[in-house]
Chain A
Amino acid sequence: MSPYRSGRRDSAWKPPGVDAVERSWRSPLRGPWLTAVYGSVLLIALPLVIITGLLDYAAYGPRFDQAFPTHVGWLRLPTFDWPTRPSWLFRVTQGLHVTLGIVLIPVVLGKLWSVIPKLFAWPPARSPAQVLERLTLLLLVGGILFQIATGVLNIQYAYLFGFDFYTAHFFGAWVFTGAFVAHVIIKFPRLVTALRSRPLSAELRTPPAATRPEPPDPDGLVAADPGPATLSRRGAVGLVGGGALLLGALTIGQSLDGPLRHTALLLPRGRQPGPGPNGFPVNRTVAAAGVRPEQTGAGWRLTLHGGGRTVTLDRPGLLAMAQHTAALPIACVEGWSTRQTWTGVRLRDLAALAGVADPASARVSSLEQAGLFRTAVLASNQVLDPDSLLALRVNGVDLSPDHGYPARVIVPALPGVHCTKWVAEIDFQERTDG
């Protein structure tokens, strides 16, 4: 008789090695309480990451088909005009999304450590319910690790995965969110019971020598044959919390200005690209954009379209117009941001000059020939904000080539990639609704 057949008849049959694996889980710390502590941190923080992620998608302007991926079917959320106030809005949503996402990595790893014996539990499933639930767990674990991996690689510009980041990170987020919601609904009662089983304050005062395993639990998280504790639960929580603090301390700098920026020691945006007023990060160099010096020299012209009219301006002409100065952050989807003082012509003045004082939208095009962001559409509120500029200068000097000389867009709370550099044309659209 084959072991397989005897296994079907006799539920006590196990493949060789199962008992050895079960005995090899020695940590006395594993148990519902510790899992619930890590779980409750994720339960509170992950929704923030999910919501800020969706907000960042909204900030890209899905209404103008410029949020990627563009075709999302039923996952299309109600569109709204991304506000220009407060001007630090995108800086905060995107900074929170990236920083919190990174800070949670040790918590995710700790949570996975606490439940990993269940992956090897025998039998793999006792009922159809368990089969389906384990499938959602693959979506949950694969989902969170996929989101972490793609996100972490994206902010470091290492596109090892060879697929489109936006598509993968957007749809990956939905797969994860679905599994996350299901997991929370199913496990929430367990989480509450587990947290109540041991008071946090008492647990945080227990030293390793007094640390005992939790009583056996229905989920089988507690080791069958636990060894002596080498770490208290306080230590385990502290270890994960310390890891989170370490990552936070090395990441938050990319959202800060001043000397604290350098604390992002291992990230591209902790570094100051050169000295002087133009010494702040760029997202695309002039060389990478393929914009040649002869295009931006004295022969450069800005072309405005609107209402059948075309206006052409050179740089001295723009400098002769009313200049406005605003201190505005520029924030990128990679989570970094910086506040600088920009000077230039108000976009609404240019709209009026083009004969469309109250435009429905404006399409800004760059001298760049290729690239996903060579054009960007600004909504009406983004054109009309008094701080929305076609900037010619920054921090009191001309823009550097990398920052978009001769002219670039800067709009409050607009994602950095839509603050088009090396602007060649602005096409103001009239309202059609009268």
Chain B
Amino acid sequence: MAERLHARYGAAPWHLVVVTAAIVLAGWVALRLADEATFGRMLLWFVGAAIAHDLVLFPVYASTDRVLRALVRGRVTLLNHLRFPALGTALLFVVYSPGILRLGETTHEAATGQDQRPYLPRWLLLSATLFLLSGVTYLLRRRRQVSAQRSDSA
């Protein structure tokens, strides 16, 4: 019996129990929320979040990286000294974009008594610092490399 289930289902019976439990829980939550006027929006955001990551964010950063790789043509150290600050900048933007783009200005002001003006310049400054630090360490590494090569050839 268990073997037949295994062959037909494609995994052990406990696998079926585990995945079913997770799906039933999610289904129960969905049924519970189905009466909410905003349930459709919640569902949209839930599925949309996965789609936005898998089919927008990932392709965007993967192709940006591809372009970057083509531009530096094999200079791996340079590539990484561009990649790291670029990813840092993008990460900060993704996480703190509500402040940077001044989304929700009224709720922000009602809650804090302050506006959202400082965030954009601060993000730009932080990003510039990341690129600057990366650039300086890149130049230092290159100088060390060049002087090591010179002492090798001398």
CB-CB under 8 A from B139, the residues of chain A are none
Interface SS of B by simple majority = helix
**Docked CA distance A146–B20 (Å):** 21
CB-CB under 8 A from B146, the residues of chain A are none
* Pick from B54, B80, B103, B126: contact of A231, CB under 8 Å: B80
In the complex, are the beta carbons of B91 and A132 less than 8 A apart? Answer: no
* Pick from B79, B95, B108: contact of A230, CB under 8 Å: B79
Binary per-residue interface labels of chain A (141-153) against chain B in the complex, 1 for a CB within 8 Å, 0 otherwise: 1110110111011
Stretch binding the partner chain, chosen from A55-63, A76-84, A239-247, A338-346: A239-247
In the complex, are the beta carbons of B96 and A235 less than 8 A apart? Answer: no
**Docked CA distance A252–B36 (Å):** 35
In the complex, are the beta carbons of A136 and B113 less than 8 A apart? Answer: no
The smallest C-beta distance from A362 to any residue of chain B, in angstroms, reads 26
In the complex, are the beta carbons of A157 and B29 less than 8 A apart? Answer: no
**Docked CA distance A164–B35 (Å):** 13
Q: How large is the interface on B (under 10, 10 to 19, 20 to 34, 35 or more residues)?
A: 35 or more
Stretch binding the partner chain, chosen from A33-41, A279-287, A373-381: A279-287
The smallest C-beta distance from B147 to any residue of chain A, in angstroms, reads 20
The smallest C-beta distance from A331 to any residue of chain B, in angstroms, reads 15
Among B23, B107, B113, B126, find the residue whose CB has the most chain A CB atoms closer than 10 A: B113
* Segment 152-204 of A: residues with Cβ below 8 Å from B: 152-153, 156-164, 167-168, 171-172, 174-175, 178-179, 181-182, 185-186
CB-CB under 8 A from A136, the residues of chain B are 19, 22-23
In the complex, are the beta carbons of A119 and B123 less than 8 A apart? Answer: no
The smallest C-beta distance from B31 to any residue of chain A, in angstroms, reads 10
Q: What residues make up the interface of B, taking CB atoms closer than 8 Å to A?
A: 8-11, 15-16, 18-23, 25-26, 28-29, 32-33, 36, 38, 41-42, 45-47, 49-50, 52-54, 58, 69, 76, 79-80, 83-84, 87-88, 91-92, 94-96, 98-100, 103-104, 107-114, 118-119, 122-123, 126
User: Which 9 residue pairs are nearest across A and B when measured between Cβ atoms?
Assistant: A127-B10, A158-B104, A158-B98, A288-B110, A145-B49, A163-B38, A129-B11, A129-B10, A156-B98
Q: Known pairs A157-B104, A174-B25. 14 more at Cβ < 8 A?
A: A129-B15, A139-B23, A153-B98, A158-B98, A159-B104, A161-B45, A163-B45, A182-B22, A230-B80, A231-B80, A242-B88, A266-B99, A266-B122, A267-B96
User: Please, could you name 11 A-B residue pairs with CB atoms under 8 Å apart, sorted by A?
Assistant: A74-B28, A127-B10, A128-B9, A142-B46, A149-B45, A153-B104, A156-B103, A163-B38, A231-B80, A267-B96, A268-B99
